[in-house]
Amino acid sequence: MLNFELKNPTKIIFGKDQIKNLEKELPKDAKVLLLYGGGSIKQNGIYEQVKKALHGHEVVEFGGIPANPEYAVLLEALQVIKNESITFLLAVGGGSVIDGTKFLSAAALFKGDTPWDILTNGIPTTVGLPFGTVLTLPATASEMNSGAVITRAEIQEKRAMGGPGLFPVFSILDPQVVASIPQRQLANGVTDAFTHVLEQYMTYPAGGYLQDRFAESIMQTLIEIAPRIMKNPADYEAAANFMWSCTLALNGLIQKGVPGDWAVHMMGHELTALFGIDHARTLAIVAPSHYRFNFESKKEKLAQYGKRVWGLTEGTDEDIAKEAIVKTEEFFHSLDIKTALSEYTSDYKGTAEKISARFIERGWNGLGEHKSLTPAHVQEIVEMSY
Amino acid sequence: MLNFELKNPTKIIFGKDQIKNLEKELPKDAKVLLLYGGGSIKQNGIYEQVKKALHGHEVVEFGGIPANPEYAVLLEALQVIKNESITFLLAVGGGSVIDGTKFLSAAALFKGDTPWDILTNGIPTTVGLPFGTVLTLPATASEMNSGAVITRAEIQEKRAMGGPGLFPVFSILDPQVVASIPQRQLANGVTDAFTHVLEQYMTYPAGGYLQDRFAESIMQTLIEIAPRIMKNPADYEAAANFMWSCTLALNGLIQKGVPGDWAVHMMGHELTALFGIDHARTLAIVAPSHYRFNFESKKEKLAQYGKRVWGLTEGTDEDIAKEAIVKTEEFFHSLDIKTALSEYTSDYKGTAEKISARFIERGWNGLGEHKSLTPAHVQEIVEMSY
């Protein structure tokens, strides 16, 4: 097991009808900026619940944060924070709204020339403007971690940021919100969380026995509840386990003490930046090829995953490892998630070279848990994903 | 799944040679009271590592906190805190030293007549004197939770306390400390952590699928590493998983959203108070009888446990549930932990009546996850444990 530090101060308020408890989590004299996305919260009743709970506070609203939170839009919100002397941010939405809010939390107190520096120069945020979240879409775990990914469309860039100052003060998770989530987003959420676990697990045996079992637990739970929520998202028990599994998949716990890969995300982000493919779907496109390409270095964990998560018993460990990749693809397909780039765009030719060239330009050499993947390897993996 | 709140702000610093990082976790101007137990830290080198890391801070020492931290001794330490204007407490030890430190954290700022009120009146601590820990004995998870149990020998009482103000600011967990722990304490640690998981798991199916799997993960890991650490406590990989499993067993995570039992602890505490039997061993004495007595209400979870943790497949669910209790006893025996009260004392007659009478006196009616166990049931369970 590797050495690690863990501190996650976010207060989780989980369960039925918890949104009404929002009010007591806010600082008494807070001037709140309420941030949300495309307006689905106005259809599903969450907006009203939130507004009711905010009664008594001074609240300014900023809606319209898009999926893959867009830098240009966030700069507008930043101006509102400054003009209105906002003291507390409240994100009501999924990962995009929460990630956008984290950028604003950092940018509001940033002393440098331009907040884009936070993203390009990887500047960690130690103190941000305090914020809370009301989660409406389980997937990214942004509600209980300190990371964010921001998109800048004008230069087709998608970049990560973070820091210990970017944990939400609180996050309210009411699984009843799952009932109104469209099928496509449910499938994305399951796929996103499942791949988050894979990124932290599918490396090499590193003596993190408990971490491995926790990771397997999350994947087993997602496999168990996926058909139930796809069939009936109002199934509270399935929705609650879906929501909590997504949070635990990337709140930091299972990655402590073990190596991480994350190359699938690095490649996937490029597919979103280039083609606008949903984040989760880019992961499903890249992951199987990634595991096949890196089979030799990952086969022990692939076999363990095959046995413990998929219950495979037939054949050698190598057979089981290979079959485990197939099982993973089949799982994505069962969610109606396609796993080939060509199923999303006919314009895929040259993508591998393009992504590889971008990685060279950024000096991104040595991805993955062994820091051994070169841009040339990335090119091969993306080509295998066509 | 039940509604829950989760907030655990303790910073964990885990791994090899981490004690030297102690210094940077302390407030710069802190006046530190260094608290420890019987002095084993002076034999195993931990005391020296801590003292070295504290170089530059004003430090007062208070050693001699006994196993089952004793109220009378703690009152002496409380006097030191007041006389010396201590601003930060540092517990270097196992659960007893850390629990004692939590009592001191609460008592130092307590405004009532006598700090015993905190225990008898169940007064939660919202703000305590800040403290950190260096863990020397994995078992209780006190290093990452906000609860404590204090003993008062003069009246043979053992009482629980807690509150959101009693999380350690930081805890340093270096698995290398396991190498110098005596066999008896290692066996106690495994048994204690294993039973902590059982208390939060062995109830009834409550739709906490992920929580169940996490609980099973901890038990599976403990079963896997127990023979390794008993054979060679210097086996770092086993020690690290032992240590982290003990912390996760009772840091609050697996109990969120599911019912808890804790009757085994309530009865076990009495056996420690009456006979001085090690805490962990009292749990091993009571747990099997408790599960047999409450078999009807617990048999679904017992069967799930039998299948998933012990890999039992033969017979009906009821057969598997029964066999799972036997497996649990055998596991304790494999650690050289005896599971009958008469193996610890010849003076056991009348114990059941005595404990039952104490519960009546305290008005403790309705223990367990269904709040249905009466003092009469407690009497039967303790009798079955003879």
Chain B: closest CA distance from residue A105 (Å): 20
Do the strands B58-62 and B31-36 form a parallel or antiparallel pair, or are they unpaired?
parallel
Assess B175–A contact: CB distance below 8 Å, yes or no. Answer: yes
Residue among A108, A56, A73, A65 nearest A87 (CA): A108
CA–CA gap between residue A177 and residue A198 (Å, rounded): 26
Residue among B140, B362, B127 nearest B265 (CA): B140
Domain CATH for A260: 1.20.1090.10
Q: Which residues pair with A155 in a beta bridge?
A: none
Q: Are A172 and A197 part of one and the same domain?
A: no
Q: Are B77 and B95 part of one and the same domain?
A: yes
Residue B221's closest chain A neighbor by CA?
A210
A259 in a domain, yes or no?
yes
Classify burial at B112, counting beta carbons within 10 Å of its beta carbon; exposed 0-12, middle 13-18, buried 19 or more: exposed
Q: Are B291 and B163 part of one and the same domain?
A: no
Going residue by residue through chain B (386 aa), what tens digit of pLDDT does each one get?
999 999 999 999 999 999 999 999 999 999 999 999 988 899 999 999 999 999 989 999 999 999 889 999 999 999 999 999 999 999 999 999 999 999 999 999 999 999 999 999 989 999 999 999 999 999 999 999 999 999 998 888 888 999 999 999 999 999 999 999 999 999 999 999 999 999 999 999 999 999 999 999 999 999 999 999 999 999 999 999 999 999 999 999 999 999 999 999 999 999 998 999 999 999 999 999 999 999 999 999 999 999 999 999 999 999 999 999 999 999 999 999 999 999 999 999 999 999 999 999 989 989 999 999 999 999 999 999 99
Q: Are B190 and B307 part of one and the same domain?
A: yes
A260 in a domain, yes or no?
yes
- Decide: B149 and B99 in contact? Cβ < 8 Å: yes
Handedness of CA B294, B299, B304, B309 (dihedral sign): positive
Q: Which amino acid is at A140?
A: T
Assess A6–B contact: CB distance below 8 Å, yes or no. Answer: yes
Coil, helix or strand at residue A92: strand
Residue B224's closest chain A neighbor by CA?
A209
Q: Are B163 and B224 part of one and the same domain?
A: no
Please report the number of interchain residue pairs, chain A to chain B, with beta-carbon separation below 8 angstroms. 113
Phi-psi region of A64 (alpha: psi -120 to 50; beta: other; left: phi over 0): left
Q: How many CA atoms lie within 13 A of A302 on its CB side?
A: 25
CA–CA gap between residue B19 and residue B27 (Å, rounded): 16
Q: What is the DSSP letter of A114?
A: -
The predicted structure's pLDDT at residue A67: 87
Assess A221–B contact: CB distance below 8 Å, yes or no. Answer: yes
Assess B82–A contact: CB distance below 8 Å, yes or no. Answer: no
Count Cβ atoms below 10 Å from residue A295 Cβ, excluding itself.
14
Q: Are A120 and A192 part of one and the same domain?
A: no
CB interface of A with B, residues 89-128, below 8 Å: none
Tell me, what's the ipTM?
Answer: 0.96
CA–CA gap between residue A197 and residue A202 (Å, rounded): 8
Q: Final residue of a domain: which of B134, B151, B176?
A: B176
Q: Are A160 and A28 part of one and the same domain?
A: yes
CA–CA gap between residue A259 and residue A245 (Å, rounded): 20
Q: How many CA atoms lie within 13 A of B365 on its CB side?
A: 3
Q: Tell me if A207 and B237 make a contact (CB, 8 A cut-off).
A: yes
Mutant choice from B178, B213, B228 vs A, greatest count of A C-beta within 10 A: B213
Q: Are B192 and B278 part of one and the same domain?
A: yes
- Give per-residue burial for A119-130: e unless 16+ CB within 10 Å, then b: beeebebeebbb
Q: Are A123 and A212 part of one and the same domain?
A: no
Q: Which residues pair with B59 in a beta bridge?
A: B32
Count Cβ atoms below 10 Å from residue A336 Cβ, excluding itself.
10
Domain CATH for B29: 3.40.50.1970
The predicted structure's pLDDT at residue B153: 87
B2 in a domain, yes or no?
no
A5 in a domain, yes or no?
no
Q: Are B93 and B226 part of one and the same domain?
A: no
Classify burial at B278, counting beta carbons within 10 Å of its beta carbon; exposed 0-12, middle 13-18, buried 19 or more: buried
- Decide: A33 and A63 in contact? Cβ < 8 Å: no
Residue among B134, B151, B170 nearest B65 (CA): B151
CA–CA gap between residue B89 and residue B102 (Å, rounded): 9
Residue among A125, A99, A115, A103 nearest A279 (CA): A99
Count Cβ atoms below 10 Å from residue A111 Cβ, excluding itself.
4
Q: Final residue of a domain: which of A143, A176, A209?
A: A176
Mutant choice from B6, B13, B135, B237 vs A, greatest count of A C-beta within 10 A: B6
- Decide: A45 and A174 in contact? Cβ < 8 Å: no
Q: Tell me if B10 and A15 make a contact (CB, 8 A cut-off).
A: no
- Decide: A99 and A142 in contact? Cβ < 8 Å: yes
What is the number of domains present in chain B? 2
Indicate the helix (H) or strand (E) that contains A162.
strand A157-162
B3 in a domain, yes or no?
no
Residues of chain B positioned with their CB less than 8 A from the CB of A14: 3-6, 256-257
Residues of chain B positioned with their CB less than 8 A from the CB of A22: none
A304 in a domain, yes or no?
yes
Closest residue to B245, CB basis, from A2, A210, A237? A210
Residues of chain B positioned with their CB less than 8 A from the CB of A13: 5
CB interface of B with A, residues 247-306, below 8 Å: 248, 253, 256-257
B5 in a domain, yes or no?
no
Residue B15, domain extent: 11-176
CA–CA gap between residue B263 and residue B367 (Å, rounded): 6
Q: Which residues pair with B149 in a beta bridge?
A: B160
Q: Final residue of a domain: which of B176, B195, B221?
A: B176
The predicted structure's pLDDT at residue B56: 87
Coil, helix or strand at residue B77: helix
Tokens of B265: 């602890």
Going residue by residue through chain A (386 aa), what tens digit of pLDDT does each one get?
999 999 999 999 999 999 999 999 999 999 999 999 988 899 999 999 999 999 989 999 999 999 889 999 999 999 999 999 999 999 999 999 999 999 999 999 999 999 999 999 989 999 999 999 999 999 999 999 999 999 998 888 888 999 999 999 999 999 999 999 999 999 999 999 999 999 999 999 999 999 999 999 999 999 999 999 999 999 999 999 999 999 999 999 999 999 999 999 999 999 998 999 999 999 999 999 999 999 999 999 999 999 999 999 999 999 999 999 999 999 999 999 999 999 999 999 999 999 999 999 989 989 999 999 999 999 999 999 99
Q: Which residue has the tokens 């907030």?
A: B7
Q: Are A67 and A124 part of one and the same domain?
A: yes
Q: Are A22 and A159 part of one and the same domain?
A: yes
Residue A298 sits at φ, ψ, to 5 deg, of -115, 0
Coil, helix or strand at residue A312: coil
Question: Which positions ≥6 away from A371 have C-beta within 8 Å?
Answer: none
Residue A254's closest chain B neighbor by CA?
B214
Q: Which residues pair with B133 in a beta bridge?
A: B91, B171
- Decide: A10 and A170 in contact? Cβ < 8 Å: yes
